[in-house]
Amino acid sequence: MSTNRPSPETAHDRILGAMFGVALGDAMGMPSELWSRGRVIKHFGRIEGFLPAPKGHFIVDGFVAGQVTDDTQQMIMLAESITHAGGRVDTETLAVDLVAWADRVGASDGKFLGPTSARVIDRLRDGVPAADTGVAGTTNGAAMRIAPVGVLCPSSDIPALVAEVEASCKLAHHTNIAVAGAAMVAAFISSAIDAPADQSRQATLHAALRASYGAGELGMSLGRDEPGASLIRRTMLAVDVANTAETDDEFLEFVYDIIGANTETTESVPASIALVIRAKGDPVTAVLLAANLGGDSDTIGAIAGGMCGAVAGYNAIPQHMINQLSEVNDLPIGPLAEQLISFRRQRERAELTV
């Protein structure tokens, strides 16, 4: 492990930033969720802050400005499940917590859930054991909620991090693509949290990308083998354009048209990472890019917001946005973050004794 680690206060700020960053991006992208880029531009012009859902939206009709979707709710559910299992991802515990969450919020009553999560919740309600749900999707449900695993696991042990990611995927997204995509996000967050206190933001982004690619390669060896485009090569292509596009509109057009912004992990994870690089790790910039991108804008915003929050920290998110998120939603992020920090430090101490 690095001897030049961030102070506990800095690490705490980054962990809070990662978890609030998910909520920030989710709520910012909520109004444009699953609309085409052209429709987003025609209806909104440009999204520049929290907005209510458009009247009649087929998923989020009636949502108010700053309201989060199932992306943040499932991130919180996963964090709670980790605490219930004593600092790890336990698939059986997660199955119970997932169904309890869905029942509590009425997640199955509308079009609230992604297709893979909806199928597995139905099967679990029918009494199918967690190990036998038979649902193995390649959509982005695993990546959208994975931030707590990045918070839980130090980046000094990527195989251990990927093992926790895989455990979180076994219910509904146990494919090489979904595991690899979620592992890329978790490793990026973990590496950013661990960045030395005096390291430049650019260096932190570079290190997080390297950790992300390494975790993605390992994740591709796990779960059911499914055909799909290369997550890492698509991410590298998107990152290159993020660094070279002359304007944000040019960049967003490329991401939407070539990389893709839909619900498949092979589209949304590369797009999210590219937004982080384009934003230079700034949470607000990244989530506004996501909101204006079109496609699965709330999930891409949640993923990008979580990664940027880990890079820049909680204090990089304007207080008025934190206030609005907290006023509109029930977000027990502070207490959960404290518990996850404690588990992370236990893992760090255990590594030092090996």
Residue that the structure tokens 């609309």 belong to: 35
pLDDT less than 50: residues of the chain: 1-3
Token pair for 247: 């304007």
The contacts of residue 319 (CB under 8 Å, 6+ apart) are none
Query: If we measure between CA atoms, which residue out of 178, 246, 17 comes closest to residue 6?
Result: 17
Q: pLDDT value at position 5?
A: 75
Residue that the structure tokens 């989020």 belong to: 60
Token pair for 118: 């909806």
Cα distances (Å, whole numbers) of residue 274 to 105, 153, 261, 293: 32, 23, 11, 12
Other beta carbons within 10 angstroms of residue 100's beta carbon come to 13
| Residue 173, beta-bridge partner list | 136
In CATH, which of 1.10.4080.10, 2.10.10.100, 3.90.1660.10, 3.40.50.1980 is domain 13-48+69-353? 1.10.4080.10
Q: Which amino acid is at 297?
A: S
Q: pLDDT value at position 165?
A: 98
Q: What is the CA radius of gyration of the chain?
A: 18
Q: What is the pLDDT of residues 153-190, one digit of tens each?
A: 999 999 999 999 999 999 989 999 999 999 999 999 99
**Count of alpha carbons within 13 Å of 229, Cβ hemisphere only?**
16
pTM of the model: 0.96
d(CA 260, CA 267): 5
Query: If we measure between CA atoms, which residue out of 262, 266, 240 comes closest to residue 251?
Result: 240
Query: If we measure between CA atoms, which residue out of 230, 269, 290, 261 comes closest to residue 21?
Result: 290
**Count of alpha carbons within 13 Å of 92, Cβ hemisphere only?**
2
Q: Which amino acid is at 79?
A: A
Q: Which amino acid is at 196?
A: P
Show the beta-strand stretches assigned E in the chain.
none
Q: What is the pLDDT of residues 140-160, one digit of tens each?
A: 999 999 999 999 999 999 999
Contact (CB, 8 A) for 290 and 32: no
Q: pLDDT value at position 1?
A: 39
d(CA 139, CA 290): 18
Residue 175 has phi, psi (to 5 degrees) of: -125, 155
Token pair for 222: 């796990």
Residue that the structure tokens 């991802």 belong to: 89
The contacts of residue 129 (CB under 8 Å, 6+ apart) are none
Longest CA–CA span in the chain (Å) reads 58
Token pair for 105: 């919020």
Q: pLDDT value at position 161?
A: 98
d(CA 92, CA 167): 10
